[in-house]
Structure 1
C-alpha cells in the first residue's frame, strides 16, 4: 500500500519548541509526527505553523519538513524576511545537514546521489526516480557509523547534504542506494520499517543569511535517535 492509513496523533509535549526568535524570524524544532502545515482534513489541522501562529500571528512558512521528519524549521515574521529567506532556499544558498539511520552497511564512505525525481502519481505522495521526466535531485552523503542493533541487524548512520530540495529526496535517494531509512512507512521494506518506531531522519543543522543584518546564522539541534554529536555545520562545509 503506497500510503498506509494512519491516525494523526501529533506529539503534544513540548507543544512548541522555539530555538530562536527576533523581529524577523522564528526558528523552531519540529518533532517527528507533526505536520509542517495543516492538512486538508479537519483532524489534520494541527501543525507547526498553527502552533507558531498562536504565539506569533504574522509567522509564515518558508520551507517544510515531511511530517515524519524531525528538525529545524525557520519561519518568517514579515514579508521582507519571507522574501529574503525564501530566495536563499530557491537559489540553494542555504546550508542544510540531515542525519539518518539507514538499513544495512553502505560500502562507500562518501558519495553523491544524482538521480532525478518525479511524483509517483498513482501512489502519491510517493516519489520515484525517473531519468527522463524527473527534476534534478542531488544529495551528498558520508557514513558516520556502521553498526548492528540489539537484534544483530545492520544499520548505518549517515550525514546527508541535500543540494536540491525535492519532495522526499533523501528518502528516495537512500532507497535507490539500496539502504532505505529505518522506520520509513512509505519506502522501507518490512525489516527496515520494523527496526525503528519513527522515521530515522532529522534536519540537524541549518545555516542561512539573516534577512536584516546580513550575517550568517547557524542553528543546530541534537539527533534524537543517536548519541553522535557532530561539529557545527559552518565548520564542516563552509
Structure 2
C-alpha cells in the first residue's frame, strides 16, 4: 500500500444565477456523490475554487475551476471486472440490475459504483462524470438501481429522492400468515417510517407454515426499513439472517427481497420513466410464473 492523492477537476459551465457550492457540488466528483459526502470534504478542506480554499459558504457564479484533492490509499493496479445487466441507459442516467451479494458503494473494492464505468457508455454531455448510484440497495437485495452519468443528473436525481418523487415497488417472500394488505408505521432509529404491503399470493410450506409473495411500497427510505418493518409484524423476509426468527433462518440462497420497479419523471426530458426488473427465478420456483 502507498499513500497517494486523488485529484479531480471540474470547470463550471455558465450559470444563470449564483449557487452555493454545497448545492452545486453534489455529484460533480465521482468520489463525492452525496450532499453529506460533499460537506465532509469541504470541512476537511479538500476542495479549492480557482485555487482558493472553498467552504460551505462559497458561491459559484459560472466559469470557475473546482478542484478536489483527496489523500487516498491505493493498491497496485487493481481493476474490478464485474459485468452488470443494463436495463435502460441514456446520456443522463442509467438503470441497472443489482445482483445480490455486492455493495452498492463504499470503501470496499468490489462495489457496484466501481463496476459502473466499464458497463455504461460515457456521456457526451459537457458535465459528464464517473457514473454514480443515487440511492441504496442492501448488500443482499437484488433489483433495479438508478445511477447518474453527469454531475447535473446526479444532483437532480438525488433531489427527486429527497422530494419523494420516485415511486419504488419491491417484492419479498415473507414467512407466516399475514393480512391481505396493511400499513406499518413503527419508527426506525427514532425516525418516522412508513411501509405499505399487499399479499399477492400465499403457499403452504412444510418448514415455514406459510410463505407469502408480498408487494411492498416504502413511503420512506430508512436503513433496512422493509426488513425491520416486516420482522416487526412477525412476518420476516425469507433468508434474512439479521432480522429473521431463530430456527427459521435460510442460509445459502440469499435474501428474498427484490427491488422490482422505479417510476419517475426524467429530470431533463420530462418523460415518464417506468422500469421493471423481473422477479428472480428463486421467487418463481416458490410461486410459479405470475
Paired position in structure 2 for 1:88: 160
Corresponding residue to 1:174 among 230, 233, 240: 230
Whether the 8 Å contact between 2:104 and 2:138 is mirrored in structure 1 is yes
* Aligned: 1:48 with 2:112: yes
Higher strand share: 2
2:61 is matched with which residue? none
1:124-163 alignment to 2 at 5 Å?
134-149=190-205, 151=207, 153-163=209-219
Corresponding residue number in structure 2 for 1:70: 142
Aligned partner of 1:24 in structure 2 is: 92
Q: Deviations for 1:3-28, whole angstroms, at most 9, x for unmatched residues?
A: xxxxxxxxx99721111111001110
Judged with a 3 Å threshold, the aligned counterparts in structure 2 of structure 1 residues 155 and 55 are, in CA distance, closer, same or farther, namely closer
Aligned residue for 2:68? none
1:104 aligned residue = 176
Name the SS for the 1:226 alignment partner: helix
The question of whether the paired residues in 2 share the 8 Å contact of 1:23 and 1:77 is answered with yes
Q: TM-score, normalised by structure 1?
A: 0.78
Unaligned 5+ residue runs, structure 2? 1-79, 121-128
Higher RCO (C-alpha under 8 Å, 6+ residues apart): 1
| Aligned equivalents of 1:211, 1:135: Cα separation in 2 | 29
TM-score, normalising length from structure 2?
Answer: 0.64
Distance 1:205 1:192 in 2: 28
Asked if the contact 1:60–1:82 (Cα under 8 Å) also holds between the matched residues in 2, the reply is yes
Q: Which structure has the larger Rg?
A: 2
Measured in 1, the distance between the counterparts of 2:267 and 2:243 equals: 37
For residues 53 and 150 of structure 1, the distance between their equivalents in structure 2, rounded to whole angstroms, comes to 45
User: Is this contact kept in 2: 1:181–1:192, CA < 8 A?
Assistant: no
Question: What is the CA distance between 1:87 and its match in structure 2?
Answer: 0.9
Aligned-partner SS, 1:193: coil
Aligned alpha-carbon RMSD (Å): 2.1
Change (3 A) 1:184 1:135: same
List, as ranges, runs of 4+ consecutive aligned residues in structure 1 with deviation greater than 4 Å: none
Instruction: Give the C-alpha shift of residue 80 in structure 1.
Output: 1.3
Whether contact under 8 Å (1:80, 1:211) holds in the other structure is: no
Cα deviation, residue 218, structure 1: 0.4
How many angstroms does 1:49 deviate by? 1.2
